[in-house]
Amino acid sequence: MSYTDTVKLVERIFGITISAPYDRKTKLLSRKKNDTPFLDKMRIVFREEAEKLHR
C-alpha cells in the first residue's frame, strides 16, 4: 500500500481531508529525534557482559 493510498484510506475512515500530506510527512520526519537512548545503553551493557563471559 502506497503512502497516497494510506492517506486516502485514513481520510475515508475518519471523514477528514488531509491537506498537503507529503508536506506534513516531511515536517513529521524532520522532527524525529533519536528515540532509542535506552536501547543504545542496553546494547553497550550487553556487549560488556558478553565480553566478561568470553574472557
Q: What is the pLDDT of residue 28?
A: 82
Overall pTM > 0.75 = no
pLDDT tens for 1-50 read 899 999 999 999 999 999 999 998 888 888 877 767 888 899 999 999 99
Residue 8 CB partners (closer than 8 Å, separation 6+): none
21 closest CA partner among 1, 40, 6: 6
d(Cα 51, Cα 40) in Å, to the nearest integer? 17
Residue 46 · residue 52 · CB < 8 Å:
no
